[in-house]
Amino acid sequence: MDTKYWNIDRLGRLYKDWDPKVLKELETKIAKSHWRPGYHITTKTGLLNDPNGFSYFNNQWHLFYQAFPYGAVHGLKSWQHMVSDDLVHWKFIDKPMVPDLYSDRNGCYSGSAINVDGKLFLMYTGNTFEGEEMARHPYQLGAWMDDNNNISKLDHPLIESEPAGVTGHFRDPQVIKHGDYYYAFLGAQTVDNAGEILTYRTKDIENGWKLYKKLDLGTDNLGYMAECPNVGFIDGKVVVIFCPQGADKHEFHYDNVHPNAYIVADDLDFEEMKLINPSEMKQLDEGFDYYATQVLNAPDGRLLSVGWIGLPDTEYLSDQEGWEGELSMVRELHIENGDLTQRPVQEFKQLIEEDEASDTDLQKHIEAAPFDEHFNLNLESEDSYLRLSYDESDQEWTLKRKNVGQEVSIRTFKGEASSVDFYLDNTVFEIYILGGKITMTGQFFHDGNEVRVNSENMSVKQNKMSNM
């Protein structure tokens, strides 16, 4: 980040105070990029990060994301709104939720949405910095959205401040309904620098939110902050997905700067706010760039998810062009033999064309099946590559990535041999193996002209994919 340009004034400047020419100049610059994806959600300009408000309302799927449109930096955050009829083709709604209250003046941070009596209720964290020391003060806020996608914020906070014993790192409410109560699951950091997930509840979604209990996950290895908590229900089980920043790597292995993790349990005891027979904490994704996953207990019975293809505290090559970040394909989640599986929703099959993909096709679907105990699948450009290999003797997968002009990054993980389901979308990739038991997601910055596919001891089929 250019710290001379991105001073405190620009990072915190209200949207109404920006010169409209800035966005037009960014749009012109970004139009020349050869790294833009075709069937993944990405920002028009500036930064995209956490998915928010994933919901089904008024006969459409709704999805928001954290946005700062004026540059590829974490500036003053808003909620950009998108809608879809099929979870694949998304269109922008030019009615973002922007910071315009005292209680969200330093950013509309992450949150969720729930259908209440025919209207969509949004619950989110309003970020503020107060006093001479600019101490973080979080407000948990509410808003309603009508059938015309107009958002009206409540004139009072739902939760005015963090509870006793918790720092200003108190955010990302996921709101669900159970019995007579609405429950909010919030990420928190204690004054002793320990991460935890707290719950609040009320019978009236606009009023009366009270601290209920800490969620007992069966582990205390939540690092110094547990953010982006999500609870989902499927296949008679419950899954909790969250981001335990600073989790102890001796107990829970991960390579990224911050992990995205999950725990599966037989049930959630709402009275005790405790998981029943929880599994160990596991990695949600084994790739290089995946974070802040949000789930939706959809009205059709599916458990769906979407994640940010990016990481906090990380710079990307697209930053120099004035944009950063994508959202994953929407995934359907299941519990199989105690493990979480993730697969693209069936609706994505409509984008897979019959025509075989060539090296110059940068949107492609690759199916690869091994016929030996050692095999690999390679995607290569001039000064960049992705290499996925498997060694049966160690039952170990290895994924190597070299972005153009950068050093090689490596991820290794244990698992059985499997066919590979690979989605390439220019500079975005999603890999599914073992039926989605293991996923690998990330960004792959190549030279921009072609991506060659070759393999060893694998049969490979590659097809073109349409843009959304």
Give the whole-number percent of the chain exceeding pLDDT 90: 94
Tell me what the mean pLDDT of segment 326-353 comes to. 97
Comparing C-alpha atoms, which of 271, 309, 270 is closest to residue 287? 309
Average pLDDT value for the chain:
96
CB atoms under 10 Å from CB of 354, counted, come to 6
**Same domain for 321 and 395?**
no
Task: Decide which of 319, 344, 369 is a domain's last residue.
Answer: 344
Query: pLDDT, tens digit, for every residue of 184-228?
Result: 999 999 999 999 999 999 999 999 999 999 999 999 999 999 999
User: Is 74 part of any domain?
Assistant: yes
**Same domain for 281 and 365?**
no
**Same domain for 93 and 241?**
yes
Grouping H, G, I as helix, E, B as strand and the rest as coil, residue 424 is: strand
**What is the C-alpha to C-alpha distance for residues 87 and 351, in angstroms, rounded to an integer?**
12
For residue 244 the two structure tokens come to 């335990």
Grouping H, G, I as helix, E, B as strand and the rest as coil, residue 6 is: coil
Query: pLDDT, tens digit, for every residue of 45-85?
Result: 999 999 999 999 999 999 999 999 999 999 999 999 999 99
In 179-236, beta strands by DSSP E: 181-190, 195-202, 210-214, 225-234
Query: pLDDT, tens digit, for every residue of 270-317?
Result: 999 999 999 999 999 999 999 999 999 999 999 999 999 999 999 999
Contacts 24+ apart (CB under 8 A), 60-63: 60/84, 60/85, 61/85, 61/86, 61/87, 62/113, 62/120, 63/90, 63/306, 63/327
Q: Which residues of 403-415 are buried (b: 16+ CB within 10 A; e: fewer)?
A: bbeeeeeebebee
User: Is 21 part of any domain?
Assistant: yes
DSSP string, 55-114: EEETTEEEEEEEEETTSSS--S-EEEEEEESSSSSEEEEEEEE---SGGGTT-EEEEEEE
User: Is 296 part of any domain?
Assistant: yes
User: Is 148 part of any domain?
Assistant: yes
**Same domain for 394 and 328?**
no
**Same domain for 383 and 333?**
no
Q: Report the number of distinct structural domains present in the chain.
A: 2
User: Is 2 part of any domain?
Assistant: no
pLDDT over 80 (residue 150): yes
**Same domain for 303 and 414?**
no
Which range marks the domain in which residue 219 is found? 8-344
User: Is 183 part of any domain?
Assistant: yes
Q: Is 94 a known active-site residue?
A: no
**Same domain for 281 and 372?**
no
Residue identified by tokens 């950009």 is: 80
Comparing C-alpha atoms, which of 83, 100, 101 is closest to residue 92? 83
Interior angle at CA 291, CA 223 and CA 435, nearest 5: 110
At 467, the amino acid letter reads N
**Same domain for 367 and 318?**
no
Task: Decide which of 315, 344, 373 is a domain's last residue.
Answer: 344
Answer whether 379's CB lies under 8 Å from 453's CB.
yes
Residue identified by tokens 């492609």 is: 364
**Same domain for 241 and 369?**
no
**Same domain for 308 and 370?**
no
CATH of the domain at 411: 2.60.120.560
User: Is 1 part of any domain?
Assistant: no
Catalytic residue among 19, 50, 85, 355: 50
Query: pLDDT, tens digit, for every residue of 15-27?
Result: 999 999 999 999 9
Phi, psi of 425 (to 5 degrees): -130, 75
Interior angle at CA 32, CA 28 and CA 36, nearest 5: 110
**Same domain for 187 and 166?**
yes
Q: What's the pLDDT score for residue 448?
A: 75
DSSP state at residue 433: E
Answer whether 97's CB lies under 8 Å from 81's CB.
yes
Task: Decide which of 285, 310, 344 is a domain's last residue.
Answer: 344
Interior angle at CA 103, CA 96 and CA 291, nearest 5: 60
**Same domain for 145 and 225?**
yes
CB atoms under 10 Å from CB of 425, counted, come to 25
CATH of the domain at 313: 2.115.10.20
Comparing C-alpha atoms, which of 327, 277, 325, 275 is closest to residue 468? 327
Return all residues near 286 (Cβ < 8 A) that are at least 6 apart.
397, 399, 411, 413, 438, 439, 440
User: Is 382 part of any domain?
Assistant: yes
